[in-house]
């Protein structure tokens, strides 16, 4: 009887020994939900806006055969005539001209892979570390937490360093100047008498306005959440 009572007492004892070290971490890891590194919906909205605006802007381009029609080229009579031709041709071939400048810029970056690498890294830093990073998820690097103001300051300094202290700035400026020179030469020698601009088309509308509107509409919520 005494042995049975002793066994019953042992069976009713409560185990107060601490759990294994890995059990608490496993339980916490199972209950915690991983946070996305970036705001995926905002990034997706930005890409969709940019893609739709790009397609809409390119749909307003003039026929390329009309742009390179050799029968419509002649030497301008004076400098003022050349400037007038450039203004008229730009109003008509705006999207085509911007596409030419973009092509020259892309060719310059592709032929300079180091500049392309720095520029892509800078753009990725702005997108993933500031613009589309969740506002409630602070940036932590090397064990230190950075506020939004500190992150913005670091990105601005990094942008100045990349653009002005590397070859990126010279490549961008030279490519833009080359593209603008091509556009000005074509506009000065292209006779615009046979071109008819739609009366309802505003001079301020064009390829850049659509892209600028898309970028501002998509990025505005992400920036406003940090102000």
Count of other CB atoms within 10 angstroms of residue 162: 18
Q: In this structure, are residues 53 and 211 in contact, taking their beta carbons and an 8 Å threshold?
A: yes
State the pLDDT at residue 50: 72
Considering the chain, what is the average pLDDT of its residues?
76
Q: Given a cut of 70, is residue 122 above it in pLDDT?
A: yes
Question: Using one digit for the tens of pLDDT, what is the confidence trace for 2-11?
Answer: 554 555 545 5
Q: What is the pLDDT of residue 170?
A: 93
Give the predicted TM-score (pTM) of the model. Answer: 0.65
- For the stretch 150-187, pLDDT in tens is 888 999 999 999 999 889 999 999 999 999 999 999 99
Q: How far apart are CA 92 and CA 213, in angstroms?
A: 21
pLDDT value of position 84 = 93
Mean pLDDT of 191-212: 56
More reliable by pLDDT, 127 or 114: 114
34-38 own/partner pairs: CB under 8 Å, 24+ apart: 35/134, 35/137, 36/134, 37/128, 37/133, 37/137, 38/127, 38/128, 38/132, 38/133, 38/134
Is 210's pLDDT higher than 50?
A: no
User: Using an 8 Å Cβ cutoff, are 62 and 96 in contact?
Assistant: yes
The model's confidence at residue 113, banded by pLDDT at 50, 70 and 90, is very high
Residue, of 162 and 140, whose pLDDT is higher: 162
Question: Tell me: the pLDDT tens digits for 18-76?
Answer: 555 544 444 444 444 444 445 566 667 767 777 777 777 777 788 888 888 888 899 99
Q: What is the pLDDT of residue 216?
A: 54
**What secondary structure letter does DSSP report for 225?**
T
How would residue 79 be classed by pLDDT, with cut points 50, 70 and 90?
very high
Tens of pLDDT, residue by residue over 88-105, are 999 999 999 999 999 999
């Amino acid at each position: 009887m005494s042995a049975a009572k002793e066994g019953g007492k042992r069976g009713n004892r409560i185990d107060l020994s601490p759990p294994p070290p890995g059990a608490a971490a496993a339980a916490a890891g199972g209950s915690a939900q991983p946070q996305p590194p970036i705001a995926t919906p905002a990034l997706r909205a930005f890409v969709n806006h940019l893609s739709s605006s790009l397609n809409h802007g390119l749909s307003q381009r003039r026929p390329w055969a009309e742009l390179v029609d050799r029968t419509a080229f002649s030497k301008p009579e004076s400098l003022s005539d050349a400037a007038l031709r450039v203004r008229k041709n730009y109003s008509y071939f705006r999207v085509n001209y911007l596409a030419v400048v973009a092509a020259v810029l892309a060719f310059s970056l592709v032929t300079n892979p180091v500049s392309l690498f720095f520029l892509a890294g800078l753009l990725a830093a702005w997108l993933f570390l500031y613009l589309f990073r969740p506002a409630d998820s602070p940036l932590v690097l090397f064990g230190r937490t950075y506020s939004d103001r500190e992150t913005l300051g670091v990105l601005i300094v990094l942008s100045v360093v990349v653009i002005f202290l590397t070859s990126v700035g010279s490549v961008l400026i030279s490519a833009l100047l080359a593209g603008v020179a091509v556009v000005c030469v074509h506009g000065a020698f292209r006779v615009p008498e046979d071109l008819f601009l739609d009366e309802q088309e505003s001079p301020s509308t064009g390829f850049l306005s659509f892209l600028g509107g898309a970028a501002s509409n998509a990025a505005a919520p992400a920036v406003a959440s940090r102000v």
